[in-house]
Structure 1
């Protein structure tokens, strides 16, 4: 009887110890999981936010003569990082690869004129818009045949690969206008070179992006007609990061409230942002 009682007591103590250890592990795992899900705290802990951008889209983002990331997007990124209390690390790559890099956690955010769309919001979260761009049709200076979207029929139209403009042409313009060829590009300057050389008939883009490229390369091209659409770009991050999105929105709003945003905008575009 005595041996039986002692064996029972030992078994009970073993169960209690194992239960306590299991409870402790679960609590720790839960805490670590909460920390892991809060990417804002991870960024602050690392002291750096990794920002993806093309680096070939002057005046928004490009490598300057010192091989440093420069432009409107770069200045926005630096100011946002400053207000988050961290440094910024730029990661340059083609636009079509930015979303995969973000989703695979190679970067923390995309600040590269990524238009906010319903389709993208299914895979990514966005800050409030930080710029609005008007998109127009661009043709060679001597081309008077294309002035509106309906004139695209039977033509070859260039557009950035993986951009909102490509989606717009395929999903909205093609069904409405009829058959035309869409040729995609990894960067803007190559598409404009092809337009200038007559290898494509037109492209679509916004005037802020075109002016410095045209000025530096002497392309004989022009914008025609009224704006065909208006896009808003935001800072893209991975899904389910409300703390990070809230912090980004707070930083952007603070920049607008204290005039920093206007200063950056005028620096790159020579005018006040549209209200």
Structure 2
């Protein structure tokens, strides 16, 4: 894990070191400023990252972060909601400028996308029914059935430990499958579990295990020179929000804890 995190740091440093001029025809930041709008993709079904409140307004940690980034760039934030698998496809086809959806940095994603500096550090939890006595560690996932959004970091992690993954659309579906004993477990962010339990205190669920180290949550964008200027500007904004405490306050608002500090 330490080696993996070092590779991430090196990759981010290499990216921040790019200083070549940008072609205005492909420079994403310039295009955003020209149209006075940044198009942000998110699921809109993953509380408290991005979800709809009682008034059906799109809200959440990622939503407010996107709004603040747009504000500091001096443009309008337009959110487009899509299922997980469509987020990256839309980014590839340039339907979206960036994705803000609690995306964790992985080696595989680093090969295809550029990432901003991390804006949250999270641990992944194995969530099971309260009466489950078979799963106590990640090694115990071998031969078990889990539910998660296919191609997500959580599904990949479960499969790495030998589990078979059932694909679902959102968190509520994963939890329902666990409660109905149709799967043994689901993997998700620790803070997402606590938020779910806050809303559903009667749910017969528990955390069976946590990852030892935190994952890095960041903003993916298209790889290459076209994203260099945009990435540098977003990194400045994230760094300023961390230094001012603004991002920590936003994290506490939605998660009840500070995800900015490891």
Give the TM-score range, shorter chain. Answer: 0.7 to 0.9
Does the 8 A contact of 1:131 with 1:232 survive in 2?
Answer: yes
Does the 8 A contact of 2:149 with 2:170 survive in 1?
Answer: yes
Say whether residues 1:184 and 2:167 are aligned partners: yes
Say whether residues 1:225 and 2:209 are aligned partners: yes
Say whether residues 1:173 and 2:161 are aligned partners: yes
TM-score (norm 1): 0.82
Q: Using the alignment, how far apart are the partners of 1:158 and 1:147 within structure 2? A: 17
Q: Using the alignment, how far apart are the partners of 2:165 and 2:212 within structure 1? A: 17
Superposed displacement of residue 228, structure 1: 5.3
Over residues 213-248 of structure 1, what are the superposed CA-to-partner deviations in whole Å (9 max), with x where a residue is unaligned?
Answer: 233343211002343553111111111111011011
- Which deviates more, 194-203 or 149-158? 149-158
Does the 8 A contact of 2:158 with 2:164 survive in 1?
Answer: no
Aligned partner of 1:68 in structure 2 is: 57
Superposed displacement of residue 59, structure 1: 0.6
Q: Using the alignment, how far apart are the partners of 1:227 and 1:85 within structure 2? A: 38
Where do 5+ consecutive residues of structure 2 fail to align?
Answer: 1-21
Q: 1:201 aligns with which of 168, 181, 184?
A: 184
Match runs of 1:1-150 below 5 Å? 34-150=23-139
Q: Using the alignment, how far apart are the partners of 2:36 and 2:204 within structure 1? A: 46
Where do 5+ consecutive residues of structure 1 fail to align?
Answer: 1-32, 175-179
Q: 1:245 aligns with which of 220, 225, 231?
A: 231
Say what the alpha-carbon RMSD is for the aligned residues: 1.6
Over residues 38-77 of structure 1, what are the superposed CA-to-partner deviations in whole Å (9 max), with x where a residue is unaligned?
Answer: 1101101111100000101001110122222111111111
Over residues 153-181 of structure 1, what are the superposed CA-to-partner deviations in whole Å (9 max), with x where a residue is unaligned?
Answer: 332112222211222233x312xxxxx42
Does the 8 A contact of 1:137 with 1:228 survive in 2?
Answer: no
Superposed displacement of residue 91, structure 1: 0.4
Q: Please give the secondary structure, in 1, of the residue aligned with 2:252.
A: helix
Aligned partner of 1:268 in structure 2 is: 254
Over residues 176-205 of structure 1, what are the superposed CA-to-partner deviations in whole Å (9 max), with x where a residue is unaligned?
Answer: xxxx42212121110101101111011111
Q: Which runs of 4+ in 1 moved over 3 A?
A: none
Superposed displacement of residue 36, structure 1: 1.3
Greater CA radius of gyration, 1 or 2? 1
TM-score (norm 2): 0.85
- Which deviates more, 214-223 or 243-252? 214-223
Does the 8 A contact of 1:189 with 1:213 survive in 2?
Answer: no
